[in-house]
Copies of this chain bind each other. A is one copy, B any other.
């Protein structure tokens, strides 16, 4: 029997899904999961996703770099924020990082109880798909959204995965979300940035002058790494 692939548009809807025995792929394209992919591509050893600023800071005494983003900006007093460019530095090589972000790390928490949790972004799209084919489990693509609301950029990445894996997986009652995500991706794929031009997150982020981040996060296949959660820490899948 075929395994299934579904798309979940918000951590708030995850309880409706049968994800306990599944691989959950957490997606936060702008920018948490993109930055995580960059971090591992640049030699980071592990990333511990935490919920609060306090939890992140507490890891400093254990020799970790600490990262925190709120309202789109690096929180004062932390080594790293949520920009992929902040992880492109030799100083992160072989380091452990504790990280909290508005949406992405919260979505990882929501997925606790899944058989395994992986990190998806456009940056590792093809590598992620190859890895998923080998898992021999049902798959739930979990969009982090914005404070649990639907967002377009995470949906487009989920649609891109569905587009690539179509035919290899079956769908459950949630197939409509997968069909919608795939359709939106097919409309947008030749100009992702243009398609997102009017989206709410772009609008919100425009005030932060991170146009460069947004453009970077939409370029597929910049790394072959697939971060996975092992004992509470993200590491690069072997």
Interchain CA distance A124-B183 in the complex, whole Å: 26
Number of this chain's copies in the assembly equals: 2
Interchain CA distance A40-B175 in the complex, whole Å: 33
> Are A180 and B150 interface neighbours, CB within 8 A?
yes
A3 at the interface (CB under 8 A from B): no
- Kindly list chain B residues whose C-beta atoms are within 8 Å of the C-beta of A149: 13, 16, 173-174, 176-177
- Kindly list chain B residues whose C-beta atoms are within 8 Å of the C-beta of A12: 12-13, 16
From B173, B183, B199, A179 is in contact (CB under 8 Å) with B199
What are 15 A-to-B residue pairs whose CB atoms are below 8 Å? A12-B13, A16-B147, A16-B148, A16-B149, A146-B173, A146-B176, A149-B176, A152-B176, A152-B180, A155-B176, A171-B200, A173-B200, A183-B184, A184-B184, A187-B187
- Kindly list chain B residues whose C-beta atoms are within 8 Å of the C-beta of A203: 175
Q: Which of A12, A174, A200 has the most CB of B within 10 A?
A: A200
> Are B148 and A175 interface neighbours, CB within 8 A?
no
- Kindly list chain B residues whose C-beta atoms are within 8 Å of the C-beta of A171: 200
A9 at the interface (CB under 8 A from B): yes
A138 at the interface (CB under 8 A from B): no
> Are A201 and B184 interface neighbours, CB within 8 A?
no
Residue of chain B at shortest CB distance from A6? B149
A231 CB → nearest B CB, Å: 32
A151 at the interface (CB under 8 A from B): yes
From B148, B174, B187, A150 is in contact (CB under 8 Å) with B174
Interchain CA distance A148-B13 in the complex, whole Å: 9
A235 CB → nearest B CB, Å: 32
